[in-house]
Structure 1
Amino acid sequence: MLKLGLIGKGISRSQSARLHVLLGRMCGMDVTYDYLDSDQIADFDLIRQLTKCAQTGYAGVNVTHPYKTSARKLITPRKRLPEALGSVNTVVFREDGWRGDNTDFVGFMRGYRQQFGDAKPGTVLQLGAGGVGLATAFGLRGLGADKILIHDKDAARGEELVATLVAADAAAEFVGEADLADAVRSADGLINCTPVGMNQYPGCPFDTALFGGQKWAFDAVYTPVQTAFLTSAAKSGIEVMTGFELFFFQGIEAFEVFSGAEIDADAARTEYFNAYPEALTG
Structure 2
Amino acid sequence: MDSPHGAPVITEDFGLKGPRGWAFRGVDIDARPGSLIAVEGPSGSGRTCLLLALTGRMRPTEGRAEIGGLQLPRKMAAVRRISALGPVPGISDLDPALTVAEHLRERALLQRRFDSSLRTLLRPRAEHAAAARGRIDEALEAAGLDLATLPKEERTAVRDLERLEELRLSIALALIGRPRLLAVDDIDLKLSDTERAEVWKLLGSLAESGTTVFAVCSQAPEGTTVIRTTGRSTVDAATAAAADADTEAVADTGTDADAEAEAEAEAKVEAAALGDTDRDTDTGADADADDTNKDTNEEGTADALADTGRA
TM-score (ref. length: structure 2): 0.27
Higher relative contact order (CA 8 A, sep 6+): 2
Structure number having the greater helix percentage: 2
